[in-house]
Structure 1
Amino acid sequence: MAMASLGNLYNISSVLSLQGLELPREASIPALLFAMLSYMIIIFCNLVLLITIILNKSLHQPMYLLLLNLPINDLVGSTALLPQMIKELMWDTRTMEFSTCVAQAFFIHVYGVGAVLILSAMAYDRYMAICVPLRYNTVMTHSHIMKLVSVVWIFNFILIAILFYLLLRLPRCKSHMTHLYCDNPSLLQLVCVDTTVNNIYGLLITAITQIIGVGLILFTYLQILFACLRNKRSDTRSKALQTCGAHLIVFLILECLGLFTIISYRLKELSSSSRRFIGVTTLIFPPTLNPIIYGLKTKEIRTSIIKLFRQKVFPF
């Protein structure tokens, strides 16, 4: 009898019910317009950055080949979230297939870890270019860049695949999501068995990415700062600081929003609406701001974008 009851406990629906935005009726249309506009801006800005780097041969340098991965990653993260959010706002649907939910969570986590790893690889490139310029062309070859990019993506997918393998081995006993979108912490709340191993591994991923990201960027930027202070040529120093400034701004935005999201899950007194707002901003603001920051702060990209629009979009 007990075994039968246990079996019924885990024999639950494959359709999950989501918390939803819980907006008043008069706020639904502005929220829908904001979500649609945000997604359009993210797609447009990131595609412009991608196309500019791909079509302009002068940008086929290590720094920009690494940068190419950032808009790809941003498109993955925003596409994992915003279409589902737009669908919910448009049709007032608050259900999702469990398999779709897992896929959304998987790519959201791929986006989060990928952003830190890509920015770390870009910091390494800037360190080589500014601190050891005589070895830069020897070390940062196209072959080396391809290996670096491959390591970033393979390492990212392996980390997240293990995370979701540990999740999917556990039986579910709930079908109601207490979060706006699907991620590992919200999916773990559907499990009614011990999740200690999952929690430890999740914290381990966070620790690894933070040690790699913050540690590498802190080390490289201190070295870059010292190298710039030692350099007596003001134009070289200004160019180096300008290039690194865009990278540092992007990294700080990502770190602050990511840190707030992680902390929000551990603060039980934080309201669910505040937690949802923090989670959404992490997946909307960086993908929107990253291409704009690089387009405005990096002269070579800014010039290439203007040239692209003059030749392809407004040829007259």
Structure 2
Amino acid sequence: MNHSSLDSTMMLTSFGSFRPLNYFFFSLTLLVYLLSIFSNVFLMLIIYFESSLHKPMYIFLFNLALNGLIGSSTVWPAIMENLLSDTQKMSFLACLVQIYWGYFYLSSAYTTLSVMAYDRYVSICKPLQYHSIMTPGKVKTLLTAANIVPLFSIAILVYLTSRLVLCKYTIQNLFCDLVTILNLSCVKSLLVNLCGACMLASLVVFPCTIVLLSYALILTVSLKASKGAQKKALSTCSPHLITFINFGVAILFFAVYNRYSSFLPAEVYILITIDVFMIPPLLNPIIYGIQTQEIRKCFVKTVRKNEIFFRICELTVFRKSTSEHNS
């Protein structure tokens, strides 16, 4: 392993010098980040504590929410720190860690969405066989594969990247990404490029194919079904489809920018970063909370429980203060 590169310091130049306006961007970023954390954690708690939601679809959704926490926490705390700093520095080792979790977030999101698409296909196209196909053992296997495969695949890619010898140490982005590091290396690594292409095919293209194939089969079956069945299929699939399209468009923009970054202004990269690492983790829980009837019911029940709890607390405090006043 090349220790000289690991010990080096990277400079991030996209932030520019510190300005009072940075306080506004910091506050806005912090607000959206906290909302993202709250919405994902709240969704996870509802799924965890509500036994009626202990079904494959919601177990996969729990994993997607956890993935959203990883994605937003990989990038935004570091960006907020740099917004309030005069010099934006990062060690190469920290840069590799950020690449690892950032790419894990992207690839794990795709594998999880493909597993969710397969679950919807079985639910709609083979409803009588659903429970015999989506057994607890199979759910665990699919969930494990959706996380373990990206976990180890990205680890190999990051290890190969760590062995690169760097000639330049200036990053003209908001955070570290693989393409930037490859451009900073002294020698172009065919092995890293080949490994990256394999990762792209196995962790993005293949999951996308599964999603598209699943929905093609769902559409074929739905067209032959009754109006009521079509409506039910639409309500069941729409949150997942919206999430997949939103995430797919964001990743497409990210890939296009990495390819043609020299021809595009830096502001485009900032918008793409927001679209990839902030919008999906924030919107996914909201989309599922609004579109999914069972989650809506559990949300209302949870709010009512807390409302009753707070009313009991208020009544207890009021009675206690009244008795003390009378005495």
Measure how far apart 1:292 and its partner are.
Answer: 0.4
Measure how far apart 1:213 and its partner are.
Answer: 2.3
Matched, 1:241 2:265: no
Contact kept? 1:12, 1:173, Cα under 8 Å: no
- Candidates 121, 132, 136, aligned match of 2:130: 136
Contact kept? 2:17, 2:86, Cα under 8 Å: no
Matched, 1:208 2:228: no
Identity of matched residues, %: 34
Distance 2:238 2:49 in 1: 25
Equivalent runs, 1:218-229 vs 2, <5 Å = 218-229=212-223
Distance 1:156 1:107 in 2: 10
Which stretch of structure 1 is more off in the superposition, 179-188 or 254-263? 179-188
Matched, 1:147 2:141: yes
Measure how far apart 1:189 and its partner are.
Answer: 2.5
In structure 1, what is the equivalent of residue 246 of structure 2?
A: 253
Q: CA RMSD in A?
A: 1.9
Distance 1:247 1:11 in 2: 42
User: What amino acid is aligned across from residue 155 of structure 2 in structure 1?
Assistant: A
Structure 1 residues 124, 266: closer, same or farther in 2, change over 3 A?
same
- Candidates 168, 176, 189, aligned match of 1:174: 168
Matched, 1:25 2:19: yes
1:205-255 per-position Cα deviation (integer Å, ceiling 9, x unaligned): 2222333222111111111112222222x3332122111011000000100
Measure how far apart 1:314 and its partner are.
Answer: 5.7
Contact kept? 1:13, 1:175, Cα under 8 Å: no
User: What amino acid is aligned across from residue 227 of structure 1 in structure 2?
Assistant: V
Matched, 1:299 2:293: yes
Contact kept? 1:121, 1:148, Cα under 8 Å: yes
Structure 1 residues 99, 26: closer, same or farther in 2, change over 3 A?
same
Distance 1:98 1:188 in 2: 13
Contact kept? 1:47, 1:71, Cα under 8 Å: yes
Measure how far apart 1:23 and its partner are.
Answer: 7.6
Larger Rg: 2
In structure 2, what is the equivalent of residue 71 of structure 1?
A: 65
Distance 1:279 1:23 in 2: 20
Structure 1 residues 18, 305: closer, same or farther in 2, change over 3 A?
same
In structure 2, what is the equivalent of residue 264 of structure 1?
A: 257
2:90 partner SS: strand
Structure 1 unaligned spans of 5+: 1-6
- Candidates 263, 277, 281, aligned match of 1:283: 277
In structure 2, what is the equivalent of residue 103 of structure 1?
A: 97
Structure 1 residues 174, 23: closer, same or farther in 2, change over 3 A?
closer
Runs of 4+ in 1 over 4 A off after TM superposition: 10-13
Distance 1:128 1:200 in 2: 35
Distance 2:108 2:164 in 1: 26
User: What amino acid is aligned across from residue 17 of structure 1 in structure 2?
Assistant: M
User: What amino acid is aligned across from residue 195 of structure 1 in structure 2?
Assistant: S
Measure how far apart 1:61 and its partner are.
Answer: 0.6
Distance 2:119 2:159 in 1: 33
In structure 1, what is the equivalent of residue 106 of structure 2?
A: 112
User: What amino acid is aligned across from residue 288 of structure 2 in structure 1?
Assistant: Y
Contact kept? 1:242, 1:298, Cα under 8 Å: yes
Alignment TM-score, normalising by the size of structure 1: 0.91
Contact kept? 1:32, 1:90, Cα under 8 Å: yes
User: What amino acid is aligned across from residue 160 of structure 1 in structure 2?
Assistant: I
Contact kept? 1:12, 1:174, Cα under 8 Å: no
User: What amino acid is aligned across from residue 298 of structure 2 in structure 1?
Assistant: S
Contact kept? 2:150, 2:203, Cα under 8 Å: no
Measure how far apart 1:165 and its partner are.
Answer: 1.6
Structure 1 residues 151, 224: closer, same or farther in 2, change over 3 A?
same
Contact kept? 1:15, 1:96, Cα under 8 Å: yes
1:25 partner SS: coil
